[in-house]
Structure 1
Protein backbone atom coordinates (compact mmCIF):
# COMPACT_ATOMS: atom_id res chain seq x y z
CA UNK A 1 0.00 0.00 0.00
CA UNK A 2 1.54 3.28 -1.17
CA UNK A 3 -0.13 6.12 0.72
CA UNK A 4 -0.04 9.53 -1.00
CA UNK A 5 1.26 12.60 0.78
CA UNK A 6 -1.61 14.82 1.91
CA UNK A 7 -1.64 18.61 2.01
CA UNK A 8 -4.68 20.42 3.43
CA UNK A 9 -5.87 23.54 1.64
CA UNK A 10 -7.52 26.72 2.91
CA UNK A 11 -10.88 24.95 2.52
CA UNK A 12 -11.07 21.96 4.85
CA UNK A 13 -12.64 19.41 2.48
CA UNK A 14 -10.55 20.21 -0.60
CA UNK A 15 -7.36 18.17 -0.39
CA UNK A 16 -4.13 18.09 -2.38
CA UNK A 17 -2.71 14.58 -2.66
CA UNK A 18 0.60 13.59 -4.21
CA UNK A 19 1.15 9.88 -4.83
CA UNK A 20 4.68 8.63 -4.26
CA UNK A 21 6.97 7.97 -7.21
CA UNK A 22 9.72 5.41 -7.41
CA UNK A 23 12.36 6.07 -10.05
CA UNK A 24 15.50 4.65 -11.55
CA UNK A 25 17.44 5.06 -14.80
CA UNK A 26 14.39 3.86 -16.77
CA UNK A 27 12.02 6.50 -15.41
CA UNK A 28 9.50 6.19 -12.56
CA UNK A 29 6.46 4.26 -11.30
CA UNK A 30 3.53 5.67 -9.31
CA UNK A 31 0.34 4.16 -7.96
CA UNK A 32 -1.89 7.10 -8.90
CA UNK A 33 -5.01 5.74 -7.21
CA UNK A 34 -5.84 2.92 -4.81
CA UNK A 35 -9.25 2.72 -3.15
CA UNK A 36 -7.61 1.21 -0.08
CA UNK A 37 -4.95 3.87 0.49
CA UNK A 38 -7.03 6.87 -0.65
CA UNK A 39 -9.93 5.81 1.62
CA UNK A 40 -7.78 6.77 4.60
CA UNK A 41 -8.01 10.38 3.38
CA UNK A 42 -11.19 10.58 1.28
CA UNK A 43 -13.41 8.11 3.12
CA UNK A 44 -15.39 5.42 1.37
CA UNK A 45 -15.87 7.30 -1.90
CA UNK A 46 -16.48 5.14 -4.96
CA UNK A 47 -15.37 6.56 -8.29
CA UNK A 48 -17.52 5.35 -11.20
CA UNK A 49 -16.21 7.22 -14.24
CA UNK A 50 -12.87 8.49 -15.57
CA UNK A 51 -12.75 11.56 -17.80
CA UNK A 52 -9.89 12.99 -19.85
CA UNK A 53 -9.57 16.40 -21.54
CA UNK A 54 -6.97 17.69 -23.99
CA UNK A 55 -6.40 21.43 -24.41
CA UNK A 56 -4.21 22.55 -27.30
CA UNK A 57 -3.84 26.18 -26.24
CA UNK A 58 -2.30 27.72 -23.15
CA UNK A 59 -4.98 29.71 -21.34
CA UNK A 60 -7.79 27.27 -22.10
CA UNK A 61 -10.27 27.71 -19.27
CA UNK A 62 -12.84 25.08 -18.41
CA UNK A 63 -15.36 25.96 -15.72
CA UNK A 64 -16.71 26.70 -13.30
CA UNK A 65 -18.73 23.46 -13.49
CA UNK A 66 -20.75 21.29 -11.10
CA UNK A 67 -23.68 18.90 -11.07
CA UNK A 68 -26.74 19.71 -8.99
CA UNK A 69 -28.40 17.16 -6.70
CA UNK A 70 -29.62 14.49 -6.99
CA UNK A 71 -26.53 13.75 -9.13
CA UNK A 72 -23.61 15.72 -7.67
CA UNK A 73 -20.06 14.73 -8.53
CA UNK A 74 -16.91 14.68 -6.43
CA UNK A 75 -13.73 14.80 -8.52
CA UNK A 76 -10.12 13.69 -8.18
CA UNK A 77 -8.16 15.74 -10.74
CA UNK A 78 -4.64 15.18 -12.08
CA UNK A 79 -2.55 16.26 -15.05
CA UNK A 80 -1.14 13.75 -17.54
CA UNK A 81 0.79 16.29 -19.64
CA UNK A 82 1.51 19.96 -19.03
CA UNK A 83 0.12 21.92 -16.08
CA UNK A 84 -3.01 23.67 -14.87
CA UNK A 85 -4.23 26.10 -12.23
CA UNK A 86 -7.08 24.14 -10.61
CA UNK A 87 -9.86 25.89 -8.65
CA UNK A 88 -12.64 24.74 -6.31
CA UNK A 89 -15.38 27.12 -5.06
CA UNK A 90 -17.43 26.22 -1.97
CA UNK A 91 -21.16 26.34 -2.82
CA UNK A 92 -22.41 24.71 0.40
CA UNK A 93 -24.87 27.00 2.20
CA UNK A 94 -23.93 27.21 5.89
CA UNK A 95 -20.28 26.38 5.29
CA UNK A 96 -17.75 28.62 7.06
CA UNK A 97 -16.04 28.93 3.66
CA UNK A 98 -19.19 29.48 1.56
CA UNK A 99 -18.32 31.37 -1.67
CA UNK A 100 -14.59 31.05 -0.90
CA UNK A 101 -12.24 29.47 -3.41
CA UNK A 102 -8.95 27.62 -3.34
CA UNK A 103 -6.56 27.20 -6.26
CA UNK A 104 -3.58 24.90 -6.73
CA UNK A 105 -1.13 24.32 -9.55
CA UNK A 106 -1.14 20.71 -10.74
CA UNK A 107 1.62 19.42 -13.01
CA UNK A 108 2.34 16.23 -14.87
CA UNK A 109 5.89 16.41 -13.57
CA UNK A 110 4.84 16.65 -9.91
CA UNK A 111 1.88 14.25 -10.07
CA UNK A 112 -0.29 16.32 -7.70
CA UNK A 113 -4.02 15.55 -7.49
CA UNK A 114 -6.81 17.78 -6.19
CA UNK A 115 -9.86 16.27 -4.52
CA UNK A 116 -12.97 18.40 -5.08
CA UNK A 117 -15.94 17.12 -2.99
CA UNK A 118 -19.68 17.45 -3.58
CA UNK A 119 -20.98 20.99 -3.23
CA UNK A 120 -18.14 22.70 -5.07
CA UNK A 121 -17.84 24.35 -8.46
CA UNK A 122 -14.68 23.29 -10.28
CA UNK A 123 -12.63 24.85 -13.04
CA UNK A 124 -9.11 25.07 -14.36
CA UNK A 125 -6.97 26.93 -16.83
CA UNK A 126 -4.06 25.44 -18.71
CA UNK A 127 -0.61 26.90 -18.06
CA UNK A 128 1.01 25.21 -21.07
CA UNK A 129 0.08 24.20 -24.60
CA UNK A 130 -1.00 20.61 -25.25
CA UNK A 131 -2.13 19.92 -21.71
CA UNK A 132 -4.03 16.75 -20.80
CA UNK A 133 -6.12 16.43 -17.65
CA UNK A 134 -7.69 13.28 -16.22
CA UNK A 135 -10.20 13.10 -13.42
CA UNK A 136 -12.23 10.53 -11.60
CA UNK A 137 -15.83 11.25 -10.59
CA UNK A 138 -18.09 9.48 -8.11
CA UNK A 139 -21.28 10.10 -10.11
CA UNK A 140 -22.18 9.58 -13.73
CA UNK A 141 -22.65 12.54 -16.03
CA UNK A 142 -26.26 13.74 -15.78
CA UNK A 143 -26.99 16.44 -18.38
CA UNK A 144 -30.19 17.50 -16.59
CA UNK A 145 -28.07 18.36 -13.50
CA UNK A 146 -25.22 20.03 -15.39
CA UNK A 147 -24.64 23.62 -14.20
CA UNK A 148 -21.98 26.26 -13.85
CA UNK A 149 -20.97 29.76 -12.84
CA UNK A 150 -19.00 32.46 -14.61
CA UNK A 151 -15.27 31.85 -14.18
CA UNK A 152 -14.42 35.56 -13.80
CA UNK A 153 -17.30 36.73 -11.63
CA UNK A 154 -15.97 39.54 -9.39
CA UNK A 155 -18.25 38.33 -6.57
CA UNK A 156 -16.03 35.24 -6.30
CA UNK A 157 -12.77 37.14 -6.86
CA UNK A 158 -10.76 34.21 -8.17
CA UNK A 159 -7.17 35.21 -8.94
CA UNK A 160 -6.58 33.39 -12.19
CA UNK A 161 -3.07 33.39 -13.71
CA UNK A 162 -4.49 34.69 -17.01
CA UNK A 163 -6.38 37.80 -18.10
CA UNK A 164 -9.88 37.68 -19.62
CA UNK A 165 -8.30 38.48 -23.01
CA UNK A 166 -6.05 35.40 -22.72
CA UNK A 167 -8.86 33.00 -21.73
CA UNK A 168 -9.87 30.42 -24.34
CA UNK A 169 -13.47 29.47 -23.52
CA UNK A 170 -16.16 27.21 -24.94
CA UNK A 171 -19.37 28.87 -26.11
CA UNK A 172 -21.12 27.26 -23.13
CA UNK A 173 -18.64 28.67 -20.61
CA UNK A 174 -18.85 32.18 -22.10
CA UNK A 175 -22.48 32.50 -21.03
CA UNK A 176 -22.50 30.89 -17.58
CA UNK A 177 -24.43 32.96 -15.00
CA UNK A 178 -22.95 35.07 -12.23
CA UNK A 179 -22.83 34.17 -8.56
CA UNK A 180 -25.11 36.98 -7.31
CA UNK A 181 -28.21 35.31 -8.83
CA UNK A 182 -27.19 31.80 -7.81
CA UNK A 183 -29.39 29.86 -5.38
CA UNK A 184 -27.29 26.98 -4.14
CA UNK A 185 -28.85 23.51 -3.87
CA UNK A 186 -25.96 22.35 -1.65
CA UNK A 187 -26.00 22.33 2.16
CA UNK A 188 -23.05 22.12 4.50
CA UNK A 189 -22.90 19.10 6.79
CA UNK A 190 -21.11 19.74 10.07
CA UNK A 191 -18.24 17.24 10.38
CA UNK A 192 -18.81 14.48 12.93
CA UNK A 193 -16.70 14.82 16.08
CA UNK A 194 -13.52 12.77 16.06
Structure 2
Protein backbone atom coordinates (compact mmCIF):
# COMPACT_ATOMS: atom_id res chain seq x y z
CA UNK A 1 0.00 0.00 0.00
CA UNK A 2 2.82 2.39 0.94
CA UNK A 3 4.51 1.83 -2.46
CA UNK A 4 1.23 2.69 -4.23
CA UNK A 5 0.94 5.96 -2.29
CA UNK A 6 4.53 6.95 -3.10
CA UNK A 7 4.06 6.04 -6.76
CA UNK A 8 0.81 8.02 -6.91
CA UNK A 9 2.50 11.04 -5.30
CA UNK A 10 5.39 10.87 -7.78
CA UNK A 11 3.01 10.65 -10.73
CA UNK A 12 1.02 13.59 -9.39
CA UNK A 13 4.20 15.65 -8.97
CA UNK A 14 5.42 14.69 -12.43
CA UNK A 15 2.12 15.87 -13.89
CA UNK A 16 2.56 19.23 -12.16
CA UNK A 17 5.89 20.03 -13.74
CA UNK A 18 5.98 22.65 -16.40
CA UNK A 19 8.40 24.31 -18.74
CA UNK A 20 8.77 28.04 -18.40
CA UNK A 21 10.52 30.24 -20.94
CA UNK A 22 11.09 33.92 -20.12
CA UNK A 23 12.76 36.35 -22.52
CA UNK A 24 15.14 38.64 -20.64
CA UNK A 25 17.05 41.72 -21.82
CA UNK A 26 20.84 41.70 -21.98
CA UNK A 27 23.01 43.99 -19.83
CA UNK A 28 22.38 46.92 -22.19
CA UNK A 29 18.60 46.44 -22.14
CA UNK A 30 18.47 44.98 -25.67
CA UNK A 31 15.82 42.30 -26.15
CA UNK A 32 16.23 39.64 -28.81
CA UNK A 33 13.72 37.04 -29.93
CA UNK A 34 13.18 33.35 -29.24
CA UNK A 35 10.80 30.91 -30.91
CA UNK A 36 9.54 28.00 -28.80
CA UNK A 37 6.97 25.29 -29.44
CA UNK A 38 3.84 25.08 -27.30
CA UNK A 39 1.94 21.96 -26.18
CA UNK A 40 0.36 21.69 -29.63
CA UNK A 41 3.84 21.74 -31.21
CA UNK A 42 3.09 25.16 -32.72
CA UNK A 43 5.77 27.88 -32.78
CA UNK A 44 5.29 30.82 -30.41
CA UNK A 45 7.52 33.89 -30.75
CA UNK A 46 8.65 35.74 -27.64
CA UNK A 47 10.06 39.15 -28.54
CA UNK A 48 9.19 41.45 -25.63
CA UNK A 49 11.19 41.87 -22.44
CA UNK A 50 9.89 39.62 -19.68
CA UNK A 51 7.47 37.84 -21.99
CA UNK A 52 6.84 34.41 -20.51
CA UNK A 53 5.39 31.19 -21.87
CA UNK A 54 4.42 28.45 -19.41
CA UNK A 55 3.33 25.04 -20.68
CA UNK A 56 1.77 22.68 -18.14
CA UNK A 57 -1.51 21.35 -16.84
CA UNK A 58 -3.04 24.80 -16.84
CA UNK A 59 -2.10 25.45 -20.47
CA UNK A 60 -0.31 28.54 -21.70
CA UNK A 61 0.03 31.82 -19.83
CA UNK A 62 1.78 34.82 -21.25
CA UNK A 63 2.86 37.94 -19.44
CA UNK A 64 5.04 40.90 -20.21
CA UNK A 65 7.42 42.90 -18.01
CA UNK A 66 9.47 46.00 -18.62
CA UNK A 67 13.26 45.39 -18.53
CA UNK A 68 13.42 47.03 -15.08
CA UNK A 69 10.51 44.94 -13.77
CA UNK A 70 12.06 41.77 -15.21
CA UNK A 71 15.28 42.46 -13.30
CA UNK A 72 13.38 43.31 -10.12
CA UNK A 73 10.97 40.34 -10.21
CA UNK A 74 13.48 37.74 -11.39
CA UNK A 75 16.79 38.65 -9.72
CA UNK A 76 17.95 35.03 -9.51
CA UNK A 77 17.79 34.68 -13.30
CA UNK A 78 19.92 37.77 -13.81
CA UNK A 79 22.35 36.76 -11.07
CA UNK A 80 22.86 33.40 -12.80
CA UNK A 81 23.63 35.13 -16.09
CA UNK A 82 27.33 34.79 -17.00
CA UNK A 83 29.50 37.87 -17.08
CA UNK A 84 29.88 39.34 -20.57
CA UNK A 85 32.94 38.52 -22.63
CA UNK A 86 36.03 40.52 -21.69
CA UNK A 87 38.84 41.16 -24.15
CA UNK A 88 42.36 42.51 -24.27
CA UNK A 89 44.40 43.33 -27.37
CA UNK A 90 48.17 43.18 -27.73
CA UNK A 91 49.70 44.99 -30.75
CA UNK A 92 52.79 43.90 -32.69
CA UNK A 93 55.24 45.59 -35.06
CA UNK A 94 55.51 44.39 -38.64
CA UNK A 95 56.94 40.87 -38.98
CA UNK A 96 57.56 40.49 -35.23
CA UNK A 97 56.44 38.34 -32.32
CA UNK A 98 57.56 40.91 -29.73
CA UNK A 99 54.65 43.07 -28.49
CA UNK A 100 54.82 46.79 -29.29
CA UNK A 101 54.33 47.92 -25.70
CA UNK A 102 54.91 46.51 -22.29
CA UNK A 103 52.64 43.68 -21.26
CA UNK A 104 53.41 43.95 -17.54
CA UNK A 105 49.79 44.76 -16.67
CA UNK A 106 48.35 42.19 -19.07
CA UNK A 107 48.46 39.27 -16.64
CA UNK A 108 46.88 41.39 -13.89
CA UNK A 109 44.05 42.51 -16.20
CA UNK A 110 43.36 38.98 -17.48
CA UNK A 111 43.42 37.64 -13.91
CA UNK A 112 40.87 40.30 -12.88
CA UNK A 113 38.68 39.34 -15.85
CA UNK A 114 38.94 35.64 -14.90
CA UNK A 115 37.95 36.25 -11.29
CA UNK A 116 34.59 37.54 -12.56
CA UNK A 117 33.98 34.36 -14.57
CA UNK A 118 33.90 30.90 -13.06
CA UNK A 119 34.97 28.74 -14.73
CA UNK A 120 37.24 30.97 -16.75
CA UNK A 121 38.18 30.14 -20.34
CA UNK A 122 40.71 32.15 -22.32
CA UNK A 123 40.82 32.20 -26.12
CA UNK A 124 44.00 33.64 -27.63
CA UNK A 125 43.72 34.63 -31.31
CA UNK A 126 46.72 35.68 -33.41
CA UNK A 127 46.43 37.99 -36.44
CA UNK A 128 48.63 39.65 -39.06
CA UNK A 129 48.16 42.31 -41.68
CA UNK A 130 48.11 41.50 -45.41
CA UNK A 131 51.81 42.04 -46.15
CA UNK A 132 53.63 38.88 -47.28
CA UNK A 133 52.28 35.53 -48.32
CA UNK A 134 49.36 33.91 -46.56
CA UNK A 135 51.21 30.78 -45.43
CA UNK A 136 53.91 32.85 -43.73
CA UNK A 137 51.28 35.11 -42.13
CA UNK A 138 49.39 32.10 -40.75
CA UNK A 139 52.58 30.90 -39.06
CA UNK A 140 53.38 34.40 -37.79
CA UNK A 141 49.90 34.75 -36.27
CA UNK A 142 50.33 31.36 -34.56
CA UNK A 143 53.72 32.39 -33.15
CA UNK A 144 52.25 35.67 -31.83
CA UNK A 145 49.42 33.79 -30.13
CA UNK A 146 51.93 31.31 -28.68
CA UNK A 147 54.00 34.16 -27.17
CA UNK A 148 50.94 35.49 -25.34
CA UNK A 149 49.88 31.96 -24.35
CA UNK A 150 53.31 31.29 -22.83
CA UNK A 151 53.23 34.62 -21.00
CA UNK A 152 49.86 33.74 -19.44
CA UNK A 153 51.00 30.20 -18.68
CA UNK A 154 54.06 31.54 -16.81
CA UNK A 155 51.70 33.97 -15.06
CA UNK A 156 49.86 31.05 -13.48
CA UNK A 157 46.97 30.43 -15.84
CA UNK A 158 46.36 26.70 -16.42
CA UNK A 159 46.94 25.22 -19.87
CA UNK A 160 43.48 23.61 -19.69
CA UNK A 161 41.84 27.07 -19.49
CA UNK A 162 43.50 28.37 -22.67
CA UNK A 163 42.76 27.82 -26.34
CA UNK A 164 44.98 29.12 -29.17
CA UNK A 165 43.61 30.14 -32.56
CA UNK A 166 45.24 32.00 -35.42
CA UNK A 167 43.77 33.67 -38.46
CA UNK A 168 46.74 35.21 -40.24
CA UNK A 169 45.48 38.04 -42.48
CA UNK A 170 41.98 36.55 -42.86
CA UNK A 171 40.14 38.32 -40.02
CA UNK A 172 41.35 41.92 -40.21
CA UNK A 173 40.22 44.53 -37.73
CA UNK A 174 40.50 47.07 -40.54
CA UNK A 175 39.92 45.87 -44.09
CA UNK A 176 42.60 46.96 -46.56
CA UNK A 177 43.51 46.09 -50.14
CA UNK A 178 45.61 42.93 -50.38
CA UNK A 179 49.28 43.46 -49.59
CA UNK A 180 48.69 46.69 -47.64
CA UNK A 181 50.20 47.34 -44.24
CA UNK A 182 47.78 48.03 -41.41
CA UNK A 183 49.24 48.18 -37.88
CA UNK A 184 45.83 47.60 -36.23
CA UNK A 185 45.63 44.19 -37.91
CA UNK A 186 48.92 43.02 -36.33
CA UNK A 187 47.53 41.87 -33.02
CA UNK A 188 46.64 39.13 -30.58
CA UNK A 189 43.17 39.19 -29.09
CA UNK A 190 42.62 37.65 -25.67
CA UNK A 191 38.99 36.73 -25.05
CA UNK A 192 38.04 35.88 -21.47
CA UNK A 193 34.74 34.06 -21.16
- TM-score class normalised by the smaller sequence: under 0.3
Going by fraction, where is helix more abundant, 1 or 2?
A: 2
